[in-house]
DNA sequence: TGTACATCAGTGAACGCGCGTTCACTGATGTAC
DNA sequence: TGTACATCAGTGAACGCGCGTTCACTGATGTAC
């Protein structure tokens, strides 16, 4: 939308521009694959607005960036919960979640970088590390393992929290390395995830 | 060393300054915990020299940064090979290597970030992703698994390369998340690594 | 032994850049009387 | 119904910043004759 066609929002509806800003920033992030390329100016340009008007909707750049990622991660959350609901073999559910998680990371590498590979001290307060354990994708993971546990398929010597942690770390390792080192000779994605998750699952879940 | 006390290197010995630059950059990286804080100017200041003189020794900033990291990773390589040489129970050796790797990452978080968590397209040619598979820490890891395999302790359905990949990804996940999310409620380090590696090892190694 | 010279490590000054953010403002909108 | 007014979304211009890098140079060192 160009400056000419943009109409200024009436009083109560500043949220419209807010959404457009989020859309533009997300688009730029996807196009450029670079957090640094998504400057306040670039976003403003894309929306068809001047830079200062961004500040009416976001406190600062970090808040904007995290809001963009937050929105994307909500979509991951939805994806994961869809897979949880299938509820076939719980171990297969975990595998399916692992694949969805990896796929999400590779589809949104910059968002994934910002959320899980960036500097913690640049994170706005509402996205502090501590919050991770209670909300979002990690909470979904705990639920998934809970289901496995309830079905009596978690090895008795392993508690749910530990299992969730190991799974998260392990899958995060896979996806973050594939993001950071795209030219490394990786196996084909599906094989890679299946082997990786299969191995880890074998260590903590009981076979049927 | 201040500009006043620095004496200019005689003809053949430009390497002296080169080392000082590497030292200063490494120091700054450790002190500031921030790659961005290590600017060419900051390094030059620390050494007691003007910015342009850095360029007599390093092609550009990226090359300087990777040279710093390279030096640090050689030390990790040494550490890992020391543990390989112990050669007790090969599974224990792998665990010891895992711990050393994690410890290294936490001790040199910025170097670890640059080498394994940064943008691949900012990497100078001599550190391309492809090279990783043949050299350095990953090669050491393959050797460690080779020893396990030679001792007949690798599960028959798992090949050495796959095992190395899963282990690397998995341990990288642990260390990179602890670097990126220092305020997450992590378990104590030693427990964390032992549990994590124990689980993964259980999946791919035969018990005694 | 003395002098002219080539070498080259390091300098000083500047280049052009794009960034996040602030500030006083404008002017269309909706409201109160 | 008409007018004066308050609101507040968005503007224009500028702030100060530090960055990587380039360029023509200086001047101490070692060498050749």
Could you read off the pLDDT tens digit of each residue along chain A, which spans 208 residues? 333 345 666 555 568 899 999 999 999 999 999 999 999 999 999 999 999 999 999 999 999 999 999 999 999 989 988 998 887 788 888 889 999 999 999 999 999 999 999 998 889 888 888 777 656 777 878 888 988 999 999 999 999 999 999 999 999 999 999 999 999 999 999 999 999 999 999 999 998 8
Q: Over chain A, what is the mean pLDDT?
A: 89
Distance from CA of A46 to the nearest CA of B (A): 24
Residue nearest to nucleotide D10 (CA to C1'): A53
> Is B199 within 8 Å of A196 when comparing Cβ atoms?
no
> Is B181 within 8 Å of A129 when comparing Cβ atoms?
yes
Please tell me the predicted confidence (pLDDT) of residue A131.
Answer: 73
What residues of A are in contact with residue B183 (Cβ under 8 Å)?
120, 128-130
Class of residue A87 by CB neighbours under 10 A (exposed 0-12, middle 13-18, buried 19+): exposed
**What does residue A66 show for φ and ψ, rounded to 5 degrees?**
-70, -30
Please tell me the predicted confidence (pLDDT) of residue A11.
Answer: 55
Spatial distance from the CA of A51 to the C1' of D11 (Å): 9
Contact B106, B175 (CB under 8 A): yes
Q: Which residue of A has its CA nearest to B186?
A: A165
Contact of A165 with chain B, judged by CB distance below 8 Å, is answered with yes
Encode pLDDT of B101-121 as tens digits: 999 999 999 999 999 999 988
Please tell me the predicted confidence (pLDDT) of residue B126.
Answer: 82
Spatial distance from the CA of B16 to the C1' of C10 (Å): 13
Region B167-173: mean pLDDT is 97
CA-nearest of B169, B93, B86, B179 to B132 is: B169
**What global pTM score does this model have?**
0.92
- Which comes out higher in pLDDT, residue A202 or B134? A202
Examine the pLDDT at B3 and tell me if it is beyond 50. no
* Tokens 């949220």 -> residue: A15
Q: Residue B203's pLDDT band (boundaries 50, 70, 90)? A: very high
**What does residue B114 show for φ and ψ, rounded to 5 degrees?**
-65, -45
Q: How far is CA A136 from the centre of its chain?
A: 9
**What's the token pair of residue A43?**
């976003």
Closest nucleotide to the alpha carbon of A57, via C1'? D9
Please tell me the predicted confidence (pLDDT) of residue B147.
Answer: 86
Q: Residue B11's pLDDT band (boundaries 50, 70, 90)? A: low
> Which residues 171-190 on chain B approach chain A with CB closer than 8 angstroms?
171-174, 176-177, 180-185, 187
Encode pLDDT of A187-198 as tens digits: 999 999 999 999
- What does the alpha-carbon distance between residue A147 and residue A153 come to, in Å, rounded to a whole number? 9
Spatial distance from the CA of B120 to the C1' of D14 (Å): 37
* Tokens 């171990």 -> residue: A91
Encode pLDDT of B27-76 as tens digits: 999 999 999 999 999 999 999 999 999 999 999 999 999 999 999 999 99
Question: Which strand D nucleotides have any atom less than 7 A from protein CB atoms?
Answer: 7-14, 18-24, 28-30
End-to-end CA distance of chain A: 56
Closest nucleotide to the alpha carbon of A61, via C1'? C20
Strand C neighbours (CB under 7 Å) are A 7-8, 10-11, 37, 39-42, 51-52, 55, 60-62; B 3, 6, 8-9, 11-12, 14, 16-17, 49-53, 56-57
Examine the pLDDT at B1 and tell me if it is beyond 50. no
Q: Residue B133's pLDDT band (boundaries 50, 70, 90)? A: low
């Amino acid at each position: 939308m160009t400056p000419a066609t943009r109409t200024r929002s009436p009083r109560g509806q500043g949220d419209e521009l807010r959404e457009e800003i989020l859309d533009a920033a997300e688009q730029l992030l996807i196009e450029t694959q670079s957090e640094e390329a998504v400057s306040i100016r670039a976003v403003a340009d894309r929306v068809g607005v001047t830079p200062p008007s961004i500040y009416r909707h976001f406190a600062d750049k970090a808040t904007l960036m995290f809001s963009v990622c937050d929105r994307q991660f909500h979509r991951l959350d939805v994806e994961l919960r869809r897979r949880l609901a299938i509820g076939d073999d719980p171990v297969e559910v975990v595998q399916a979640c692992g694949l969805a998680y990896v796929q999400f990371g590779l589809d949104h590498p910059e968002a994934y970088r910002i959320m899980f590979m960036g500097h913690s001290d640049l994170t706005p307060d509402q996205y502090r590390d501590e919050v991770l354990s209670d909300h979002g994708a990690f909470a979904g993971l705990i639920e998934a393992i809970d289901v496995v546990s309830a079905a009596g398929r978690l090895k008795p010597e392993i508690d749910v929290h530990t299992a969730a942690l190991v799974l998260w770390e392990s899958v995060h390792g896979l996806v973050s390395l594939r993001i950071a080192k795209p030219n490394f000779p990786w196996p084909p994605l599906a094989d890679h995830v299946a082997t990786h998750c299969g191995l880890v699952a074998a260590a903590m879940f009981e076979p049927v």
